[in-house]
């Protein structure tokens, strides 16, 4: 598979710079950038090299651009570059080169032009991580969907990816759960549907505790018993975790999200005391006000912040302790060279601290905090899990599917019942995922049903409809894609589509540089738009000869890229809608 267009243009541009004789004045490692043109009137790609370099060589940018163009060899790749504006050099890919590229992409069914990385890493991705005994609410949606998408993308790029659901199965909430289990549990309700009953119990005890401080102490005692290994409490805990996992798995199945491991907090229990002892022994941690803390006096930012506490005055451990034990395990047992945490922005300080602590411990691993903004309530405040009354994730998914179902019913009343249900499922789940992934992850947003579940405009159905249209043509024709001898591009809508398809290989690797699945979402949206325009402008089945063959090939390739790209976002496709 040939390289991407920018990768082909770059060395020629570098050679042209060399030939002008200015390369001696350039900073070491200078690589002229080649970017897609913003506007088709400027061509396909552009470089600002002349403007960047003009000052250093004391020349007028446009004159310098003219010199570069003079020396530029576009043979077998681009037309003669044009100079425009303050000194941009615009490149237009030759028609036959673009045609060849489409032919190549059609052959490359698995990778669609996207190259694997040359230095694969072992990446542990930590995402979703709900607490057990409490159902997932809308707040969990970001971590789950973004994390899953990043895992899919990294895997496709050739990394060894290990997804780990670090569930909260050992927290303080168990004090209340244990008390509730023994005192207010409705056994029948639990057998019928465990997750809502566990939530009810949790909420009820939480309410009782806030009314009665003494009860809070009783709950704490339950937790202490559990952690001391009390048999009855341990048994309840185990049952509770198992029931919760079943409930969680149902939602992951709906979302089509999977994990390689579910190593929750409890997994690290027996590793915590040795870890703390070790850190104290090494002088990394020290006692302060009765607690064992890690201070960061050498660190520019953290020095002025409170320390990370890894053991409480009463001997208990905290999540910083567990997270450090988790890093150790992932490095030593999984061979992680990189760990990504897909966790909300409020935990910035915590991760700054444990990353720095891991460094002090000598772990040579690339730690990335892939943070995201908060989902806010109507009052612009964060949802508070403890109040319990936030919107549940499962309800969001069901509502989304129901809304999609209503529209399927309007548009295609004649479809069989089962097909309508399946289409509604794909669209409904896809809509929720796309709403999340099409947004920059740091943006806070106010939860709004109509916003999250919109089905018009830049939403999943728009993209799915483009895919459906690619399939409709072959269905109408009565056969699958039969291959093509030679691609022939004549219309502007065709070359725009071909160019977009070629750019898939440029977009996918760039997503991970800043963990931005939304750049892929933007690409898919643009591809869908380009295809919809092509659809309006270029009849396929009514065309003849090479034109028809080429258009069929473009439809086929568009369908493949759309399906693949949506797949990287974790969004499924449907043949009809």
Partner RNA sequence: GCGCUCGUAGCUCAGCUGGAUAGAGCAACGGACUUCUAAUCCGUAGGUCCCGUGUUCGAAUCACGGCGAGCGUGCCA
Residues of span 374-433 touching RNA by CB under 7 A: 374, 376, 380-382, 404, 407-408, 411-412, 423, 427
In the 8-state DSSP scheme, what is residue 168?
A: B
User: In this complex, which beta carbon is closest to RNA, that of residue 160 or of residue 347?
Assistant: 347
| CA-based torsion, 269, 273, 276, 279: positive or negative | negative
Bin 128: left if φ > 0, else alpha if -120 < ψ < 50, else beta. Answer: left
Determine which residue in the list 48, 143, 368, 400 makes contact with RNA, applying CB under 7 A.
48
Q: What's the closest the beta carbon of residue 388 comes to RNA, in angstroms?
A: 14
Stretch that binds RNA, among 183-191, 225-233, 271-279, 347-355 (CB under 7 A): 347-355
220: its two tokens: 């704490």
Q: Which of 507, 527, 516 is nearest to 437 (CA)?
A: 516
Q: What's the closest the beta carbon of residue 71 comes to RNA, in angstroms?
A: 19
Q: What's the closest the beta carbon of residue 239 comes to RNA, in angstroms?
A: 20
Phi and psi angles of residue 46, each rounded to the nearest 5 degrees, phi first: -145, 160
Stretch that binds RNA, among 65-73, 133-141, 229-237, 537-545 (CB under 7 A): 537-545
Q: What's the closest the beta carbon of residue 565 comes to RNA, in angstroms?
A: 15
Stretch that binds RNA, among 97-105, 224-232, 481-489, 528-536 (CB under 7 A): 528-536
Determine which residue in the list 22, 30, 42, 77 makes contact with RNA, applying CB under 7 A.
42
Determine which residue in the list 107, 110, 536, 544 makes contact with RNA, applying CB under 7 A.
536
Beta strands 338-344 and 366-372 are parallel
User: In this complex, which beta carbon is closest to RNA, that of residue 31 or of residue 192?
Assistant: 31
Residues 70-99 within binding reach of RNA (CB under 7 A): 84-86, 88, 90
Give SS3 for 458. Answer: coil
Q: What's the closest the beta carbon of residue 475 comes to RNA, in angstroms?
A: 6
User: In this complex, which beta carbon is closest to RNA, that of residue 188 or of residue 314?
Assistant: 314
How buried is 531 (Cβ within 10 angstroms: 0-12 exposed, 13-18 middle, 19+ buried)? buried
Q: Which of 364, 371, 329 is nearest to 350 (CA)?
A: 371
Q: What's the closest the beta carbon of residue 37 comes to RNA, in angstroms?
A: 6
User: In this complex, which beta carbon is closest to RNA, that of residue 112 or of residue 540?
Assistant: 540
Residues 475-494 within binding reach of RNA (CB under 7 A): 475-476
Determine which residue in the list 44, 164, 265, 328 makes contact with RNA, applying CB under 7 A.
265
199: its two tokens: 């939530």
Stretch that binds RNA, among 100-108, 232-240, 497-505, 533-541 (CB under 7 A): 533-541
Binding mask 496-515 for RNA (x = CB under 7 A): --------------x--xx-
Partners of residue 44 on adjacent β-strands? none
Q: How far apart are CA 516 and CA 150, in angstroms?
A: 8
Give SS3 for 22. Answer: coil
End-to-end CA distance of the chain: 34
- Asked if 449 touches RNA (CB under 7 A), the answer is no
Q: What's the closest the beta carbon of residue 51 comes to RNA, in angstroms?
A: 4
How buried is 158 (Cβ within 10 angstroms: 0-12 exposed, 13-18 middle, 19+ buried)? middle
- Asked if 575 touches RNA (CB under 7 A), the answer is yes
Size of site (CB under 7 A) for RNA: 107
Q: How far apart are CA 103 and CA 248, in angstroms?
A: 45
Q: How far apart are CA 291 and CA 309, in angstroms?
A: 7
Stretch that binds RNA, among 266-274, 327-335, 496-504, 522-530 (CB under 7 A): 522-530
How buried is 122 (Cβ within 10 angstroms: 0-12 exposed, 13-18 middle, 19+ buried)? middle
User: Which residues, 6 or more positions from 37, have their beta carbon under 8 angstroms from its beta carbon?
Assistant: 43, 44, 45, 46, 90
Q: What's the closest the beta carbon of residue 226 comes to RNA, in angstroms?
A: 13
Q: What's the closest the beta carbon of residue 522 comes to RNA, in angstroms?
A: 5
User: Which residues, 6 or more positions from 213, have their beta carbon under 8 angstroms from its beta carbon?
Assistant: none
User: In this complex, which beta carbon is closest to RNA, that of residue 88 or of residue 156?
Assistant: 88
User: In this complex, which beta carbon is closest to RNA, that of residue 86 or of residue 335?
Assistant: 86
Q: How far apart are CA 110 and CA 103, in angstroms?
A: 14
Q: Which of 144, 67, 494 is nearest to 343 (CA)?
A: 144
- Consecutive H or E run containing 348: helix 348-360
Determine which residue in the list 193, 346, 389, 398 makes contact with RNA, applying CB under 7 A.
346
Q: Which of 174, 239, 167, 169 is nearest to 206 (CA)?
A: 174
Q: What's the closest the beta carbon of residue 472 comes to RNA, in angstroms?
A: 3
Determine which residue in the list 138, 358, 391, 538 makes contact with RNA, applying CB under 7 A.
538
Residues 187-206 within binding reach of RNA (CB under 7 A): none
Residues 131-150 within binding reach of RNA (CB under 7 A): 131
Residues 281-320 within binding reach of RNA (CB under 7 A): 288-291, 293, 301, 304-307, 309, 312-314, 316-319
Q: What's the closest the beta carbon of residue 151 comes to RNA, in angstroms?
A: 20
Stretch that binds RNA, among 187-195, 206-214, 235-243, 448-456 (CB under 7 A): 448-456
Q: How far apart are CA 283 and CA 317, in angstroms?
A: 18
Number of Cβ within a 10 Å radius of residue 75: 8
Q: How far apart are CA 191 and CA 491, in angstroms?
A: 64
Q: What's the closest the beta carbon of residue 35 comes to RNA, in angstroms?
A: 6
- Asked if 347 touches RNA (CB under 7 A), the answer is yes
- Asked if 184 touches RNA (CB under 7 A), the answer is no
Q: How far apart are CA 127 and CA 167, in angstroms?
A: 9
User: In this complex, which beta carbon is closest to RNA, that of residue 160 or of residue 458?
Assistant: 458
- Consecutive H or E run containing 207: helix 194-211
Determine which residue in the list 163, 438, 550, 558 makes contact with RNA, applying CB under 7 A.
438
- Consecutive H or E run containing 435: helix 417-437
């Amino acid at each position: 598979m040939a390289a991407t267009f920018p990768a082909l243009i770059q060395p020629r541009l570098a050679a042209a710079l060399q030939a002008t004789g200015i390369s001696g004045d350039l900073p070491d490692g200078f690589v002229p950038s080649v970017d897609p043109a913003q506007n088709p009137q400027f061509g396909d790609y552009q470089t600002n090299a002349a403007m960047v370099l003009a000052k250093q060589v004391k020349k007028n940018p446009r004159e310098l651009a003219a010199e570069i163009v003079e020396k530029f060899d576009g043979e077998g790749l681009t037309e003669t570059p044009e100079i425009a504006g303050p000194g941009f050099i615009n490149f237009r890919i030759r028609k036959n080169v673009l045609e060849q590229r489409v032919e190549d992409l059609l052959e490359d069914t698995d990778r669609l032009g996207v190259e694997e990385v040359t230095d694969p890493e072992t990446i542990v991705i930590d995402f979703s991580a709900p607490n057990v005994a409490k159902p997932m609410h809308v707040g969990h949606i970001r971590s789950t969907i973004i994390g899953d998408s990043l895992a899919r993308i990294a895997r496709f790029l050739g990394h060894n990816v290990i997804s780990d659901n670090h569930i909260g199965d050992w927290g303080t909430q168990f004090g209340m759960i244990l008390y509730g289990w023994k005192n207010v549990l409705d056994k029948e309700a639990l057998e019928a549907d465990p997750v809502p009953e566990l939530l009810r119990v949790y909420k009820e005890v939480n309410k009782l505790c806030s009314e009665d401080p003494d009860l809070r102490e009783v709950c704490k005692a339950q937790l202490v018993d559990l952690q001391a290994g009390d048999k009855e409490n341990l048994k309840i805990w185990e049952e509770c975790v198992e029931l919760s996992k079943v409930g969680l798995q149902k939602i992951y199945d709906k979302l089509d999200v999977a994990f390689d491991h579910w190593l929750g907090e409890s997994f690290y229990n027996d590793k915590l005391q040795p870890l703390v002892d070790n850190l104290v022994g090494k002088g990394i941690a020290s006692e302060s006000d009765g607690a064992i803390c890690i201070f960061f006096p050498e660190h520019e930012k953290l020095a002025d912040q409170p320390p990370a506490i890894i053991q409480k005055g009463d001997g208990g451990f905290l999540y910083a302790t567990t997270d450090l034990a988790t890093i150790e395990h992932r490095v030593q047992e999984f061979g992680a060279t990189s760990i990504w945490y897909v966790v909300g922005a409020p935990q910035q300080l915590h991760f700054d601290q444990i990353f720095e602590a891991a460094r002090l411990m000598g772990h040579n691993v690339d730690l990335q905090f892939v943070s995201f903004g908060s989902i806010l309530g109507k009052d612009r405040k964060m949802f508070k899990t403890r109040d319990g009354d936030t919107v549940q994730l499962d309800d969001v998914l069901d509502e989304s599917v129901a809304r999609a179902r209503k529209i399927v019913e309007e548009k295609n009343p004649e479809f069989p019942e089962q097909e309508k249900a399946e289409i509604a499922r794909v669209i409904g789940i896809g809509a929720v995922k796309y709403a999340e992934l099409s947004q920059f992850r740091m943006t806070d947003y106010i939860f709004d049903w109509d916003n999250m579940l919109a089905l018009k405009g830049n939403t999943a159905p728009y993209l799915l409809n483009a895919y459906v249209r690619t399939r409709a043509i072959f269905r109408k024709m009565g056969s699958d894609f039969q291959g093509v001898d030679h691609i022939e591009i004549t219309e502007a809508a065709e070359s725009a589509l071909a160019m977009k398809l070629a750019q898939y290989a440029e977009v996918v690797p760039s997503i991970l540089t800043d963990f931005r699945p939304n750049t892929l979402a933007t690409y898919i949206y643009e591809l869908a738009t380009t295809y919809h325009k092509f659809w309006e402008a270029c009849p396929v089945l009514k065309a003849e000869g090479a034109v028809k063959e080429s258009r069929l090939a473009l439809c086929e390739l568009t369908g493949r890229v759309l399906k693949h790209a949506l797949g990287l976002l974790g969004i499924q496709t449907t043949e009809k809608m």
